[in-house]
Chain A
Amino acid sequence: MSQSITAYSQIRSSCIKVNGSIEYCDENFITFAEFIKPFFKHLNLGYPKFYKMDPLSKLGFIAAELVFRKINIALYDRNRVGIVLANASSSLDTDLAHQRTIDNRSQYFPSPSVFVYTLPNIMIGEICIRHQLKGENGFLISEKFDSLLLFNYVNELFQHHRVDACLTGWVDLLQERFEALLLFVEPTTKAPAEEPLKVSIPFSAEAMDTLYKIT
């Protein structure tokens, strides 16, 4: 049994791409918020929860949204669609925000709406809520993008028949530096279904490296 990448999204260097095509670029932003907000509005999702998310979750949410525009998720058993993500900075961007609320005893105001985002897998939760995915979960940390780390984890999920499909990739954000690469992986079908929006790239660590390097 082999798997293919059937949709992917990239957010980096001021551009957003889906299946390799540029969707949006903006060179004139300073903060991540300035970059992502106009694009979110452009998507016109009617999903106000987005504004409550921390920057890392917003980044992962948008990257996932673009992947799922190419996939008809209604055709899948949502209990068997997994999400496995990784990054280098964990939730450090929001950790710093929470720390600022407790640094000074005279201005001590820790907030549950900030604290809840001090875990990187909250981003997985946000994507699961949006797309009603209930399958396997895993959040991994590595110093740099590590295609083999993700490939092995996802490959084992398929080997153990734990998933029918899996969203996987790298979503990292720290102090206005950000990058995301998300891939939808599923078993390779001999006769691809009538889903013209999909691509078909054999799933391997090398393929992930190639996609990661293309900016």
Chain B
Amino acid sequence: MKEVYIAGDNIISSLGFTTTANMDALRSGQIGLNLVTDPTLFPSPLPLSLVDTGVLEEQFREVLTLRGKTDSPQSFTRLEKFFIISIHSALAPLPIVPEDTGTLFVLSTTKGNIELLEVRNKNQFDSRRVFLWEMAHVVRDFFGFAHPPLIVSNACISGIVALVVAFRYLRTGMYEHAVVSGGDILSEFVISGFQSFQSLSPTPCRPYDAGRDGLSLGEGAGTMVLTTDRRLLKGAPVRITGAATSNDANHISGPSRTGEELSLAMLEAMKEAALSPADIGFINAHGTATPFNDEMESKSIALAGLLDVPVNSLKGYWGHTLGAAGVIESVVAVHALEDQLLIRSAGFETPGVPHPIRVISETVEQPMNSCLKTASGFGGCNAAILFERTIP
């Protein structure tokens, strides 16, 4: 089994177009959720985390130029632009090339180009573009990846599943490098659906807080480049050392009553990495701020024996970014480990979950070596992945 290192990354969110911009914003406590009035998204104002369209177009034109492309920016959808800018940004400083047959390309999304179903968007693109494989092929062709994309669409755990599959394929030597990219845009489709569930908060979401009243939605994309070739990396890179997924087998839209199944995924990931609860520096959990999700997570954390471990959710900063969430939150987890930084769980004030989990209430520096990242989603799915520092 080979070691799997993180070689590079990118985040595109309301907080910026690079990992550095996003980390700086998180460090200074900047919130990307703003009250948005846009009738093409939702009839009434809602707190949303939106990627700046002006900057997006500017950045995209720049990537076209840098890559010597003559395509019109209009021939790409908003989400394809997210993916292309994000992958370009993550790969730019690295000697890893998409055309290499040793490079795997994994793409995570829940809804892809779903906005193309809207009446106002009809006939702007070939109708095939709404298929996730067609969208992924557009991104593949842009970079010339040697292999067809491995596409994961597994609800809110998609981004972690994408990292997990890349981790496993690299570990056994099937590939040498992997480009794992996750993204989703905000659309009327998704917002109307969550609203029909009455699961959206009228104010920026407050994970684990006693007054939490639902989630906030966001959009974005993230990319993580993985490699088994340590020679390509400087310093002490972070590794992925364990991963697992599980299913509640309980309800398609409500979390487990016991939290047992998420804890199973956490414990399996820790077992694979040969780590015990005392080794875990912090947990970056899913923390959507719906009453039931956060309650379930606290039960899982208790069952896994992790009540002493600091916990945060990043949803209070940029909302739930669906197919991007697992990747962009993992990128933050990796940089938080490198920077030895516990990031405040935005929106949290008063404990409001059944078990006394240690929610991070202030951003502080702290020595630590590993992070357990988790997610759960519709369909009863759960995922956990472990990031560990390489001790220099």
Which A residues are closer than 8 A to B by beta carbons? 78-79, 83, 88-90, 92, 95-96, 98-99, 101-103, 105, 108, 110-112, 115-116, 118-126, 128-129, 131-143, 149, 152-153, 156-157, 159-160, 162
Contact = CB atoms under 8 A, between A and B. Distances in A.
A124 B253 contact: no
Nearest to A123: B379
Contacts of A83: 247
A50 to B, nearest CB: 13
Interface string B123-148: 00000001111101100000000001
A125 B378 contact: yes
B381 A121 contact: yes
Contacts of B379: 119, 121-125, 137
8 contacts: A95-B114, A96-B117, A98-B189, A98-B192, A119-B153, A119-B377, A134-B246, A160-B172
A134 B264 contact: yes
Given A138-B152, A149-B150, A110 B244 contact: no
B168 A156 contact: yes
B117 A95 contact: yes
For the complex of A and B, list the 3 residue pairs with the smallest distance between their C-beta atoms, beginning with the closest: A125-B379, A115-B193, A141-B151
Interface string B179-205: 000000000110011111100000000
B118 interface: yes
A141 B133 contact: yes
Nearest to A174: B131
B68 interface: no
A122 B133 CA distance: 19
A90 B381 CA distance: 17
Contacts of B374: none
Of the four ranges (under 10, 10 to 19, 20 to 34, 35 or more), the interface on chain B belongs to 35 or more
Contacts of A92: 130-131
B168 A128 contact: no
Interface of B: 43, 110-112, 114, 117-119, 130-134, 136-137, 148, 150-155, 157, 161, 165, 168-169, 171-172, 174, 188-189, 192-197, 244-253, 261, 264, 268, 272, 377-381
Nearest to B171: A160
A89 B171 CA distance: 30
A128 B380 contact: yes
B242 to A, nearest CB: 10
A73 to B, nearest CB: 12
B151 A110 contact: no
Contacts of A132: 249
Nearest to B252: A125
A121 B172 contact: no
B172 A122 contact: no
Given A115-B193, A121-B381, A129 B153 contact: no
B101 to A, nearest CB: 15
A125 B249 CA distance: 6
A14 to B, nearest CB: 25
Contacts of B154: 119, 121, 124, 137-139
Contacts of A125: 247-248, 252, 378-381
A115 B110 CA distance: 13
Given A99-B189, A122-B378, A125-B252, A138 B197 contact: no
Given A143-B137, A149-B150, 11 more contacts: A88-B131, A105-B43, A118-B111, A118-B189, A125-B379, A126-B252, A129-B252, A132-B249, A135-B247, A136-B245, A137-B154
B248 A128 contact: yes
A126 B118 CA distance: 29
Contacts of A111: 196
A98 B378 contact: no
B131 A110 contact: no
A86 to B, nearest CB: 9
A163 to B, nearest CB: 10
Contacts of A122: 155, 252, 378-379
A95 B194 CA distance: 14
A178 to B, nearest CB: 16
Contact of B378 (A95, A116, A134): A116
Contact of B264 (A79, A102, A112, A156): A79
A18 to B, nearest CB: 23
A110 B247 contact: no
Given A99-B189, A125-B252, A129-B251, A136 B246 contact: yes
A78 B264 CA distance: 12
B167 to A, nearest CB: 9
Nearest to A142: B133
Given A92-B130, A115-B197, A134-B248, A99 B118 contact: yes
